[in-house]
């Protein structure tokens, strides 16, 4: 089991194991940085090949997790960091197309996140780095009068597995997350 999945599972156990979940312990276990951002379908990338303006452009990561570039066709971006992708593009360009290529890759637009349930405007929204569940709910127009205001469910892909956990509203959101605000019982 990967470290990321183990951390998420630990938080799930901590929050599910008690009648009054200890969100602080779950938040502490999961709020630690999980390393560099990993690319996935829905991201748009700015690829700059220095000295090759015709290759420099914004490329979308397609449904299969790849980008398609002139000369080198498709390159797998799924699960890679921007630095790893830049090195892969350089290697492919070096294979007979460009002498000593220098490539830079950065995320132009992050894949969206989704908010469902007891919010004013459910839907898909553009991701912003550093966002929490509370920020996401604000972007979705706020809670409805019946919305549970102290916790939410987040569904996330971790190492190819779909994981759902109940978290406090101060929990950090990642691109691609689905947030569900449950109905509260008065």
- Considering the domain architecture, whether residues 60 and 103 belong to the same structural domain is answered as yes
Report yes or no on 37 lying in a domain. Answer: no
Specify the pairing of strand 113-117 against strand 178-181.
parallel
The answer to whether position 140 is within a domain reads yes
Q: Are 153 and 179 in contact (CB under 8 A)?
A: yes
Q: Each residue of 30-69: pLDDT tens digit?
A: 444 467 888 999 999 999 999 999 999 999 999 999 999 9
DSSP strands (E only) in 16-102: 44-49, 57-60, 66-69, 73-76
Whether 160 and 73 map to the same domain: the answer is no
Of the residues 85, 109, 133, the one at which a domain ends: 109
d(C-alpha 72, C-alpha 8), whole Å: 37
Structure tokens at 125: 């929204």
- Residue numbers of the chain with a pLDDT score lower than 70: 1-34
CATH number of the domain within which 158 lies: 3.10.560.10
Strands (E) across 86-177 are located at 103-109, 113-117, 123-125, 151-158, 161-168
Residues 116 and 103 in one domain: no
| Helices assigned H by DSSP within the chain | 3-16, 23-30, 82-94, 133-139
Residues of the domain holding 72: 44-109
Q: What is the pLDDT of residue 158?
A: 80
- End position of a domain, from candidates 69, 93, 109: 109
Q: Residue 33: what pLDDT?
A: 45
In the chain, the number of structural domains is 2
Q: Note whether 124 and 112 are within 8 A (CB).
A: yes
139-to-26, 30, 152, 166, 184 alpha-carbon distances in Å:
24, 23, 15, 20, 20
Same domain for 23 and 68? no
For residue 103, is it within any domain? Answer: yes
Helix (H) or strand (E) holding 178: strand 178-181
186 within some domain: no
In a domain, 38, yes or no: no
pLDDT of residue 36: 85
Give residue 120's pLDDT.
96
Say if residue 127 is in the same domain as residue 171.
yes
Out of 109, 131, 161, a domain closes at: 109
> Are residues 76 and 128 both part of a single domain?
no
The radius of gyration of the chain from alpha carbons, rounded to an integer in Å, stands at: 19
Q: Residue 35's pLDDT is what? A: 76
Instruction: Verify that 58 and 83 share a domain, yes or no.
Output: yes
Q: Is residue 129 part of a domain?
A: yes
Closest among 12, 43, 47 to 174, alpha carbons compared: 43
């Amino acid at each position: 089991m990967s470290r990321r999945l183990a951390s998420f599972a630990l938080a799930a156990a901590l929050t599910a194991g008690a009648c009054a979940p200890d969100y602080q312990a779950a938040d502490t276990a999961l709020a630690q940085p999980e390393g560099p951002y990993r690319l996935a379908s829905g991201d748009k990338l700015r690829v700059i090949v220095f000295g090759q303006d015709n290759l420099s452009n914004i490329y979308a990561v397609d449904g299969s997790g790849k980008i398609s570039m002139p000369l080198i066709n498709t390159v797998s971006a799924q699960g890679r960091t921007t630095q790893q992708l830049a090195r892969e593009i350089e290697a492919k360009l070096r294979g007979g197309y460009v002498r000593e290529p220098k490539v830079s890759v950065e995320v132009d637009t992050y894949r969206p996140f989704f908010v469902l349930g007891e919010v004013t405007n459910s839907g898909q929204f553009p991701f912003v780095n550093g966002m929490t569940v509370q920020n996401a709910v604000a972007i979705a127009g706020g809670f409805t009068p019946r919305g549970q205001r102290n916790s939410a469910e987040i569904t996330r892909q971790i190492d190819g597995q779909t994981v759902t956990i109940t978290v406090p509203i101060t929990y950090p959101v990642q691109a691609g997350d689905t947030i569900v605000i449950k109905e509260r019982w008065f």
